[in-house]
Amino acid sequence: MPLLHVERMTHDFGGLRAVRDYDLTIERGQIRGLIGPNGAGKTTVFNLITGIYKPTEGRVLFDGKDTVGLKPYEIAAMGLGRTFQNMRLWRHMTVLEHVKLARYSKLSYGLLGAFFSTGKRRREEEEGAQKALSLLEMVGVRHLADQVVTNLPYGAQRRVEIARALAMEPKLLLLDEPTAGMNPEELRQIMLIIRDIHRELGLAIFLIEHRLRVVMELCERIQTLVFGEVIAEGSPEETQNNPKVIDAYLGKEKLF
């Protein structure tokens, strides 16, 4: 059984068909990529899979269960973590609080625990803090744990966001342009981090990328989305040499 199985997913914004008959199958532990020019509908695909939008047609099966119609927090709690293109960090909260909060569905102390600070609550909060710190260590921002996120440099904010998504212990991690706006050094580091978490946590990763170098290096298979339709799917080499991709995505000139 594949981890994520999307079948003929279609989504309309009013009269505009943003995604048409989208199919996708991700196995456990795979790294997959989604590329495409601006406005192709890549982020919409993410929003459909994570339940922020409800598909007009089609099926989405995550871990064998149909997720169409479920709320985003329910889908997320099943083990679907994600990051956002524009990060969406909580501007008044510290780094540690970000990562701890993503473990919300794992907490069982309930309102009474929250009100009266019971032993169970203290235990769970402590455990959450420890897990959060080890994740921050993994992405290399542990020393910033008590900083408010808005004070951090851009690269560190990206790492915090990845740590936050990892805190919900996902089986599949969706990364929406994790290297957007990064300089070459930051880019190299974030790619190392993605490799690390893939190796150490053994989760599947599905990433949207603008920079071809990143997808070509990281991904096993790549889909190319143009105007809401998949025009090509294959290994990095196949994608790179596919005339349709070159035509639609890279422009007429050959880049490599």
Q: Which residues bind another protein (CB under 8 A)?
A: 50, 52, 71-73, 76-77, 82, 84, 88-93, 97, 100-105, 107, 109, 111, 113-117, 121, 125, 128, 164-165, 167-168
Provide the minimum distance between the beta carbon of 90 and another protein in the complex, in angstroms, as a whole number: 4
Provide the minimum distance between the beta carbon of 138 and another protein in the complex, in angstroms, as a whole number: 18
Return the number of the residue (67 or 239) whose C-beta is nearest another protein.
67
Provide the minimum distance between the beta carbon of 50 and another protein in the complex, in angstroms, as a whole number: 6
Provide the minimum distance between the beta carbon of 175 and another protein in the complex, in angstroms, as a whole number: 13
Return the number of the residue (116 or 256) whose C-beta is nearest another protein.
116
Tokens of 179: 């290297």
- Cα–Cα distance, 217 to 237 (Å, whole number): 10
Long-range CB contacts for residues 42-45, cutoff 8 Å, separation at least 24 = 42/176, 42/208, 42/225, 43/85, 43/176, 43/208, 44/11, 44/18, 44/19, 44/228, 45/9, 45/19, 45/225
- Cα–Cα distance, 44 to 22 (Å, whole number): 11
Return the number of the residue (19 or 80) whose C-beta is nearest another protein.
80
Return the number of the residue (111 or 255) whose C-beta is nearest another protein.
111
Residues sharing a CB contact under 8 Å with residue 214, sequence separation 6 or more, in sequence order: 179, 187, 191, 207
Return the number of the residue (11 or 20) whose C-beta is nearest another protein.
11
- Cα–Cα distance, 154 to 131 (Å, whole number): 23
Provide the minimum distance between the beta carbon of 149 and another protein in the complex, in angstroms, as a whole number: 9
Which among 158, 249, 166 has a CA at the least distance from the CA of 210? Answer: 249
Return the number of the residue (109 or 227) whose C-beta is nearest another protein.
109
What distance lies between CA 187 and its chain's CA centroid? 17
Residues sharing a CB contact under 8 Å with residue 160, sequence separation 6 or more, in sequence order: 89, 95, 98, 99, 136, 139, 141, 144, 149, 152
Provide the minimum distance between the beta carbon of 197 and another protein in the complex, in angstroms, as a whole number: 17
Provide the minimum distance between the beta carbon of 11 and another protein in the complex, in angstroms, as a whole number: 17
Return the number of the residue (6 or 168) whose C-beta is nearest another protein.
168
